[in-house]
Structure 1
């Protein structure tokens, strides 16, 4: 098996188990059995289970973050050219649209569940590993929102942004049809991506701008 194929198989297996079982609930033996490799291969390519989690996160987040940063750069450049602060809608669209477009892709299925664990468990290995990967992105967006909402106290902008991130996470459920079977059918059926994207942007924009 080629080196890159081995690494990809390990990452795919790890992503699947981390999504299903969580970081602590997953053993390296489970990962290696599904990947068709031995434990030594994991140690050789990644060094540790923690480093493997880092690699799983970076594989999905780094390309997506690059897109979201580029979108925000374009929003800020356009606003600067017009001599105005960026609009809330433009800033949040730059974040929401590429995020929801990405999570509907088949390869993002397991990773979307991992990120749900990050935002619902609030602490532990997953949050510790993902924090450094998303903090620069969130700080950039917070700065842009502060410029878009100069009359709101910084603390209020932060709070509204945090609630917006929560709404975005639930929108991912709407796109992918997550939640448990015990929920009403209307809350477990996947909805059209375009409908969710547009509705979420409208919803968050109104909430952020409300005075």
Structure 2
């Protein structure tokens, strides 16, 4: 099997799984549904992923590895260029996530998958996300804490948790403010980012 064929098969499985997890949740989606949607046999899933749990994890890793790298690069730039300034740090956290939601190849489905992760109790997935991406949150917590030395660690993590929830809500674009007709998705996302950054900054400072 060539590398290109391996990649295309693996990617088809991930895309099918992402779409089905978005529609039916993790527990409500069977591997048989995934193989049917991806037009592959169960052996291909076992070959590339080994188990449904690993498939779930890889759906997240496919999007979140890149998003996390972008967040950390933007955080480094914010700290280098705007030391002590809270809003560039918040922008580094918020803007890469909203960019994922705009991704033409499955961005909207992945946002619904994130919402499923919040709604469904999946300890294996939560452990995977914590182990693989927990360092990203800790880096942001440290940077925000340095800007707000009067904020206790407990208060800091409460507010980070609220920010993550608000960001997921903004990514899903199911709030009161819908994208107006004639406004491009990118422009609407940029406006959402600006408003959320201002909102979050006020929440952290007060």
TM over 0.5: yes
Report the alpha carbon displacement of residue 133 of structure 1 after superposing the two structures with TM.
2.8
Structure 1 counterpart of 2:87: 89
Structure 1 counterpart of 2:136: 137
Residues of 2 paired with 1:76 and 1:45: CA distance? 39
Greater Cα shift, 58-67 or 2-11: 2-11
Residues of 1 paired with 2:64 and 2:95: CA distance? 15
Greater Cα shift, 69-78 or 57-66: 69-78
Match of 1:63 among 57, 66, 78: 66
Residues of 1 paired with 2:63 and 2:35: CA distance? 21
Give the ranges of 4+ consecutive aligned residues of structure 1 lying more than 2 Å apart after TM superposition. Answer: 119-134, 186-191
Q: Which has the higher contact order (CA 8 A, sep 6+)?
A: 2
Q: Does 1:187 align with 2:176?
A: yes
Report the alpha carbon displacement of residue 128 of structure 1 after superposing the two structures with TM.
3.4
Residues of 2 paired with 1:135 and 1:190: CA distance? 32
C-alpha distance after superposition, 1:4-30 (max 9, x if no partner)? 111111111111111111111111100
SS in 1 for 2:167: helix
Aligned CA-pair RMSD: 1.9
- State TM-score, norm by structure 2: 0.87
Residues of 2 paired with 1:133 and 1:110: CA distance? 21
Residues of 2 paired with 1:52 and 1:43: CA distance? 9
Instruction: In structure 2, list runs of 5 or more residues that go unmatched.
Output: 181-187
Structure 2 counterpart of 1:82: none
SS in 2 for 1:187: coil
Residues of 2 paired with 1:124 and 1:24: CA distance? 12
Instruction: In structure 1, list runs of 5 or more residues that go unmatched.
Output: 80-84, 179-185
User: In the TM superposition, what are the counterparts of 1:150-189 in structure 2 within 5 Å?
Assistant: 150-174=149-173, 178=174, 187=176, 189=178
* Aligned length, in residue pairs: 195
Greater Cα shift, 100-109 or 7-16: 100-109
